[in-house]
Amino acid sequence: MRVLGIDPGSERTGFGVVESDGRSHRLVEFGAIHSGRGAFPDRLVRIERMLREVIVRTAPDVVAVEEAFHAVNVKSALKLGHARGVAILAAARDGIPIFEYSPLEVKSATVGYGRAEKHQVQEMVRLLLGLKESPQPFDAADALAVAICHIHHSGSLKSRGLDGRIR
């Protein structure tokens, strides 16, 4: 199974593609999309276009997107919601199954502790993927963690007869 994990953000969107047989994971590609400066709609277009390029290039079987956390700043939360919508749209255009995971689920699945800090997630992703160095930036490491989270959850979803997809 090949999973594209996405950590959406209005300024920087992390992505990471992991291939797995359920026991061992292999890094395919990771990075961060910098939306740049300019009008917000133009930044959203850039995020969608770049994610489409990743999807075409890597051909994921599934897309896993991190859910929005509860932000104190309403304006930031709304912008994050727009970026998430664009990420979901990029995958939905090809009919790729899309799953969502909360930050707590992602951290629990990768680190074993739902309140883990960014550097702990980064280090665990490095270990799970057998990388020499921790993936940079944090957004890309978080996206890889989202992909790994889906891989860990996909077995339990199947065993319970659930698919967990966004409806």
Give φ, ψ of 105 to 5 degrees: -65, -40
Q: Which of 3, 158, 9 has its CA nearest to residue 85?
A: 9
Rounded Cα–Cα distance for residues 19 and 104 (Å) = 22
Catalytic residue list contains 21: no
DSSP state letters, 69-136: P--S-HHHHHHHHHHHHHHHHHHHTTT--EEEE-HHHHHHHHTS-TT--HHHHHHHHHHHHT-SS--S
User: Rounded to the nearest 10 degrees, how much is the dihedral formed by the CA atoms of 74, 78, 84, 89?
Assistant: 160
Is 7 a known active-site residue?
yes
Q: Which of 66, 100, 105, 142 is catalytic?
A: 66
Which one is catalytic: 48, 100, 105, 139?
139
- Establish whether 19 is a catalytic residue: no
- Which one from 7, 48, 100, 105 is the annotated catalytic residue? 7
Residues with active-site annotation: 7, 66, 139
